[in-house]
Amino acid sequence: MTFYQVLVFIHIFSAILGMGPGFILTTVVKSGKTMTELRHSYAIRHKLHIYVMIGGIMLLITGLLMGVMNTYLFHMGWYLTSLALFLVALAMGPLALSPRSRPIKALLESHKGEEIPEEYKRLAKQLFLIENIENVIFLIIITLMITKPF
């Protein structure tokens, strides 16, 4: 195996490791029907998010290294579009997801009782919308990587 083939292997493995769990983060917390279940769901979500972060970092590093090794990739529309979309998705974390996650985390820590408050439902709806947009971006990236259409 060449170094480039090892990078491709790591890149694909990182996509599975990072994007796989990323697609179910919303689903995991939607299953909570009480505050106890919801808190537990968010704890599981947090653990899964670690894999998403590691996989995402590895995707970026290996993707850029493959581009450096084969500079023609920087002239391919699918590669540049995928890279730009990935950077947009990466920026969504601190710019869109974190600001919507913080109030939910505070509510989970402070709320007494087992009934899920309406405020949570409103906040979660906003968060899940952004997460779904991000998932669509990742599906577009995956499609571009597989089909290499332009």
pTM, two decimals, is: 0.89
Distances (CA, A) of 136 to 11, 40, 71, 110, 143: 20, 26, 28, 33, 10
User: What are the pLDDT digits (tens) for 61-82?
Assistant: 999 999 999 999 999 999 999 9
Domain count, the chain: 1
What was the pLDDT predicted at 1? 87
* CA–CA dist 45, 95 (Å, integer): 19
What was the pLDDT predicted at 31? 86
What was the pLDDT predicted at 55? 95
* CA–CA dist 26, 126 (Å, integer): 12
Contacts of 114 (CB under 8 A, 6+ apart): 34, 35, 36
CA angle 117, 95, 116 (to 5 degrees): 10
* CA–CA dist 118, 95 (Å, integer): 25
What was the pLDDT predicted at 71? 96
The domain of 135 spans 3-147
Distances (CA, A) of 128 to 18, 27, 65, 76, 147: 18, 9, 32, 32, 28
Question: Which of the residues in the chain have pLDDT under 70?
Answer: none
